[in-house]
Chain A
Amino acid sequence: MIFMISFQKVSKTFQSRLKPIHALEEVSFEVQPGEFVSIVGRSGSGKTTLLKLLLAEEDPSSGAIFFNDQDIHQIKSDKLHKLRREIGVVFQDYKLFPSKTTYENIAYVMEVMGASDREIKNDVAKVLELVQLTDRKDSFPEELSGGERQRAAIARALIHRPQVILADEPTGNLDPYHTRDIIKLLVKLNEMGTTIILATHNQEVINSLEKRVITLEEGKVIRDEKKGRFAI
């Protein structure tokens, strides 16, 4: 079986002054290309740490993580950008560039990849339309509402058609109407072949998806179900 992502006995411990914090303990699972996987768990269960490890933003304390058969923590620092270009990320706190407009935020990912001005113009316009931000393209992040920022962050994650999209609580700041739209968008991208890894604690979203659910509790995988439901 071909795996796109493989976590092999991955543990992550953060050293704090009082005592070590075990964010993840011996986590193992695989994700196939084109899968839609939801990672659920309470706050502090290790969802965000798991995504950070996959993006090589953090190093595991032990174990290995493979992306397309490559151990991502063996990649040299100056080559990491190549891995990250294969991954689109929707950060929990958006991480939009405050000094760039919505258009520039989305275009940035294509710029770093070397897309032509024409490609950028065409694709950004399409994605802006998709996330309904065309009329906000010249606004700076501080001028956008929480939901608009969320949608801009999603647009930035998908603009370069990455192999996988990591979405960390992408509906956290959205009303039910926009939540439904964003989830529909992720499902649509998944149907087009993009692998989606969604970290959330939104029960309604998980139950409506009827996709694979990995449940984390205190840094451990306690359930991994093909058509899972929210149960924590």
Chain B
Amino acid sequence: MPYNYMMSAALKRIIKSGWRDFKRNNGLSVATIFIMVMTISLVTSLFLSQKTFNFLIVSLEDKVDMAVYFTEEPTNEEILTIQAELFHLPEVKKLEYISKEEALAKFTERHAGEEVIMESLAEVGGNPLLSSINIKAWEASQYAAISAFLDTASFNDLIAKVDYSQKKPVIERLFSLTSNINTTGIVLSIILALVAVLIAFNTVRIAIYNSKEEIETMRLVGASDWFIRGPFMVQGIISGLWAVLITFLIFSAAVYFLSPKVAIIVPGLNLSSFFFSNFLVILLLQLAAGVGLGVIASWLAVRKHLII
């Protein structure tokens, strides 16, 4: 018997049916949401950890610099010309010129209370300190390239010393550490995310496997693939949304309470401010993980039982 088929009515029925089945299979729904909360929590944790590591790396790298000390020969103007030349290097992030006078003023200020040092300075007489340029590179790995440039630069004979060789082991260690943290972090994140996704996917698959016979009967009484698949996908979306909501609340509370403690371990890192300023990105990431997982897992799991 033909009926006047309306797409909007069918969609309404699919959503209604999905919601009803979600409520009726409450045991399975709760189990699915629980696993999804775990998965989304893991994905969110990986995201926050990555950001924390990045912050740590940046703050460590920020503490490293390189100083070029000049002989007595160049004038201030000549050093400023050299500074301009260095500024064009792509590896250079920041430059700071410290003249002989500024160096002495800083030295005197720093050691004001230390009589022995101040007496020694007076004994030497005049200003024994050298003009210098402090160089900050974008990354720890770039100091070697800057050092190589200085070795072959036209103004090399005006350079008294570069403190790179003293700092080289520290810089190289830092470079190796940051690159190791990055690589390990990425590999670990991918593995953990995959494990979490597979567990969540299997939970949805098992839940749908329970309805295997029901799906086959739906096919036999004339339901189209979409009419069968739809309610399961709606259940996946609802489970995903619930999981996102729960995870978001858990993380909001955890970040709010843990932020002061994290700030003690990692000075300068305000986890709470980072979390709430990245609210949309984190929410979208969680929605993509939760709803995406629910929809894709349901779609694939139902497909297997539609071959009849």
- Could you tell me the distance between the alpha carbons of A91 and B211 in the complex, rounded to whole angstroms? 18
B214 touches A98 (CB 8 A): yes
Q: Which of A97, A116, A160 is in CB contact (< 8 Å) with B217?
A: A97
Q: Which residues of B9-41 have CB atoms within 8 Å of chain A's CB atoms?
A: 9-10, 13, 21, 24-25
Assuming A57-B308, A99-B25, A111-B13, is B4 touching A116 (CB within 8 A)?
yes
A108 within 8 A of B: yes
B222 within 8 A of A: yes
Which residues of chain A are near B9, meaning CB under 8 Å? 114, 116
Binds B, one of A7-15, A78-86, A182-190, A196-204: A78-86
A112 touches B222 (CB 8 A): yes
Assuming A57-B308, A77-B307, A114-B10, is B214 touching A99 (CB within 8 A)?
yes
Which residue of chain B has the shortest Cβ distance to A55 in the bound complex? B220
Which residues of chain A are near B306, meaning CB under 8 Å? 77
Interface residues on B, range: 20 to 34
Assuming A78-B225, A81-B224, is B217 touching A114 (CB within 8 A)?
no
Which residue of chain A has the shortest Cβ distance to B5 in the bound complex? A114
Count of chain A to chain B residue pairs whose CB atoms are closer than 8 Å in the complex: 70
A214 shortest CB reach to chain B, Å: 23
B217 shortest CB reach to chain A, Å: 4
**A-contact 0/1 string along B217-232, CB 8 Å cutoff:** 1111111110100000
A26 within 8 A of B: no
Which residues of chain B are near A55, meaning CB under 8 Å? 220
- Could you tell me the distance between the alpha carbons of A113 and B13 in the complex, rounded to whole angstroms? 12
- Could you tell me the distance between the alpha carbons of A113 and B4 in the complex, rounded to whole angstroms? 9
Which residues of chain A are near B225, meaning CB under 8 Å? 78, 81
A99 touches B13 (CB 8 A): no
User: How many chain-A residues does the 8 Å CB contact rule pick out?
Assistant: 30
Q: Which residues of B245-273 have CB atoms within 8 Å of chain A's CB atoms?
A: none
Assuming A81-B224, A84-B221, A116-B9, is B3 touching A110 (CB within 8 A)?
yes
- Could you tell me the distance between the alpha carbons of A37 and B76 in the complex, rounded to whole angstroms? 111
- Could you tell me the distance between the alpha carbons of A108 and B227 in the complex, rounded to whole angstroms? 10
B1, B218, B221, B224 pick with most chain A CB within 10 angstroms: B221
- Could you tell me the distance between the alpha carbons of A79 and B222 in the complex, rounded to whole angstroms? 10
Assuming A114-B6, A115-B3, is B21 touching A95 (CB within 8 A)?
no
B213 within 8 A of A: yes
Q: Which residues of B contact A (CB under 8 A)?
A: 1, 3-6, 9-10, 13, 21, 24-25, 211, 213-214, 217-225, 227, 306-308
Q: Which residues of A contact B (CB under 8 A)?
A: 55, 57, 77-78, 80-82, 84-85, 87, 89, 91, 95, 97-99, 108-116, 119, 156, 160-162
